Structure 1
């Protein structure tokens, strides 16, 4: 599973991304994991190619931003181009938008309901302007208070069968007076013995002679892996 974060403001420093740090715990609570993140500016060719690549891979992707009605909102059109389909006003989206805006409705508002042909809507609990899903790609606004509950809805509505809360845990060991170099053979041996685990090695960024080793995976495997890691560390020192 991956995230696509869209918008020039994320690349020129006008805004800091809030979605990734918000999504990590939401995925973890459901036993899911973010495998990749791509940040793309408001370049239609680049957005289209990014979506074409992820669609071709058949991966699950959650895409944030660019589905409004202003000229710089290009995600809807780029998704249609990546899929090779037309864009049109989705009937359910039209119902939601009309119900929300009433007499204030104009043609520009209805643009926000123009989605690639064959998609389904994602309900928006804040203002009823929906996002959309097609294949395993899901598109929501860039506004966190709308996007985050919409993504939670998708995860629980479309991917409940993939969720396994409590089936993935992590443990971390902080090692003092060492660097990552001498630990490489040890880490390679550990992963050879426990291939079901994911290992992360994080040296201290402030220059302290410390290394943080983390193991993630099924609870029993993590416990056994940590015990084996301690054994290998003792052997290394002896």
Structure 2
């Protein structure tokens, strides 16, 4: 069964352009490979009110959600407290997380690093294979570090453990020349109506590079694209294979 996921990326550095986000691309691809879909991705800064409001909304959406960033020990790491506020629960020290931090840092775990073990009441640990400092799970939300080298293996582990793989989505596509995107609107609408579960899409380009025209689905996408290609030819256009996707010849 295909499951729709959410993603929240936390950090002023992302919004200010000081760091480039990679979570959307990587996690979206990981979900697609597992037969699921990333339905929503939100970026929010290190401010308590917007972060709390975002988590309240994603909680109410009722979909599993990855939250990346803001679970460290410094004053600008506000995801733990925002999650506690969004769920209406106190922050408490989780015994297992405390033990992991004390084993790693010894006496230096307190007074500051131990904050990373302060989670909303009822949260459970999410193992971090990179350095052993866990994230946490609260209902259907998975709170992970912002560092890709930590977060991405944790996402893979969550998917393998909690979400049986579905049928991966397939994409077939070509590059179309000689027709305008507006001329493809009606054929695309017809394909969506006649091929349930298939999504037709077009991605225009500049500089004479044509239009990427394709279909996505878990069955029937190749037949749907053939229907679109017939409409392209009828309108005087032509098409070429798109490397890595679509029919093998034009």
In 2, the alpha carbon distance for the partners of 1:133 and 1:226 equals: 41
**Is 1:84–2:84 an aligned residue pair?**
no
In 2, the alpha carbon distance for the partners of 1:82 and 1:199 equals: 38
**Is 1:20–2:19 an aligned residue pair?**
no
- Is the Cα–Cα contact under 8 Å of residues 180 and 203 in structure 1 kept in the other structure? yes
Corresponding pairs, count: 233
**SS of alignment partner, residue 235 of structure 2:** helix
- Is the Cα–Cα contact under 8 Å of residues 10 and 67 in structure 2 kept in the other structure? yes
The 5 A counterparts of 1:45-56 are: 45-56=49-60
In 2, the alpha carbon distance for the partners of 1:236 and 1:191 equals: 19
Pick the aligned partner of 2:150 from 146, 150, 153: 146
In 2, the alpha carbon distance for the partners of 1:20 and 1:210 equals: 26
Instruction: Look up the match of 2:216.
Output: 216
Let me know the Cα RMSD of the aligned residues.
1.6
Please, which moves more after superposition, 75-84 or 168-177? Answer: 168-177
- How far is 1:120 from its partner? 1.0
**SS of alignment partner, residue 38 of structure 2:** coil
- How far is 1:199 from its partner? 2.2
- Is the Cα–Cα contact under 8 Å of residues 69 and 145 in structure 2 kept in the other structure? yes
- How far is 1:103 from its partner? 4.0
- How far is 1:101 from its partner? 1.6
- How far is 1:191 from its partner? 0.7
- Which runs of no fewer than 5 residues in structure 2 stay unpaired? 238-250
Higher helix fraction (1 or 2): 1
- Is the Cα–Cα contact under 8 Å of residues 179 and 236 in structure 2 kept in the other structure? no
- Give the TM-score taking structure 2 as reference length: 0.88
> What is the CA deviation profile of residues 92-149 of structure 1, one whole-angstrom value per residue up to 9, with x for unaligned ones?
1112112222243222111001111111110011111100111111110111111111
Instruction: Look up the match of 1:227.
Output: 226
- Which runs of no fewer than 5 residues in structure 1 stay unpaired? none
- Is the Cα–Cα contact under 8 Å of residues 215 and 222 in structure 2 kept in the other structure? no
Please, which moves more after superposition, 111-120 or 171-180? Answer: 171-180
- Is the Cα–Cα contact under 8 Å of residues 178 and 236 in structure 2 kept in the other structure? no
- Is the Cα–Cα contact under 8 Å of residues 81 and 120 in structure 2 kept in the other structure? yes
Please, which moves more after superposition, 95-104 or 60-69? Answer: 95-104
In 1, the alpha carbon distance for the partners of 2:216 and 2:100 equals: 42
**Is 1:189–2:190 an aligned residue pair?**
yes
